[in-house]
Amino acid sequence: DAMVIQNPRYQVTQFGKPVTLSCSQTLNHNVMYWYQQKSSQAPKLLFHYYDKDFNNEADTPDNFQSRRPNTSFCFLDIRSPGLGDAAMYLCATSRWTGGTDTQYFGPGTRLTVL
Amino acid sequence: AQSVAQPEDQVNVAEGNPLTVKCTYSVSGNPYLFWYVQYPNRGLQFLLKYITGDNLVKGSYGFEAEFNKSQTSFHLKKPSALVSDSALYFCAVRDRNNNNNDMRFGAGTRLTVKP
């Protein structure tokens, strides 16, 4: 089945220690998104890639970076995690950025910062 | 900018009873509207969307939603709730007239269906 996969499902890191979260997709979608979701709140868009074009949300901290080496994979890098970065991180994909298109989400990675 | 309000943090219903999860939206133009469901420790799962046409949209697992332009609402409904419907539900909106890809989510409504 075509799907969005996130690894690991649970990640523990130490305060200030860089961490990378991974997302892959078999849907062959052009767009990949990263959202941050804190305890039962609405997901907050951090950034997205349309193919190789990176689009950063204005209020996304510089501490958060992303890489998309190919169509299938996208990574979220947190350079110096703080306690406030503990959250669920959701990856999503869509075929294009048109308003009608559905976003398909992965299961998420829950990040704990000690 | 578009926004979504889910006025109820929590909805409790008995199994077999109809359920409604409310959503109202605000956009400068016409909306595209979505409902997603999130089970514990899982990602969001698409339920249904309104793009154009018939105001009543049918989706997965027996859910439906009605677009009401005059009331700027897109309430999620199901005629007969199941215990397995217990989850967190998110409404989301995009502005049809906005060329960016910004989809705004509501704060979520936790649905609990009791046996």
pLDDT in tens, B59-93: 999 999 999 999 999 999 999 999 999 999 999 99
Question: Looking at the 3D structure of chain B, how many domains does it have?
Answer: 1
Residue B32 has its nearest CB partner, among A4, A100, A107, at A100
State which of A38-47, B8-17, B20-29, B50-59 shows the largest mean pLDDT. B8-17
Does pLDDT of A101 surpass 90?
Answer: no
Give the chain B residue nearest A38 (alpha carbons).
B107
Q: Going from the N-terminus, what domains does chain A have, and what CATH number goes with each? A: 4-98 (2.60.40.10)
Domain encompassing residue B91: 3-114
Distance CA A102, CA A100 (A): 7
pLDDT in tens, A34-53: 999 998 788 999 999 999 99
Per the CB < 8 A criterion, the answer to whether B34 and A102 are in contact is yes
What is the distance in angstroms between the Cα of B46 and the nearest Cα belonging to chain A? 7
CATH number at residue B68: 2.60.40.10
Write out residues 83-102 of A within 8 Å (CB-CB) of B.
88, 90-92, 97, 99-100, 102
Chain A positions in Cβ-Cβ contact with residue B45 (cut-off 8 Å): 105
Name residues whose C-beta falls within 8 Å of residue B85's C-beta, 6 or more positions apart in sequence: B19, B61, B78, B111, B113
Chain A positions in Cβ-Cβ contact with residue B110 (cut-off 8 Å): 40
pLDDT in tens, A53-87: 999 988 999 999 999 999 999 999 999 999 999 99
DSSP 8-state symbol, A114: -
Name residues whose C-beta falls within 8 Å of residue B53's C-beta, 6 or more positions apart in sequence: none
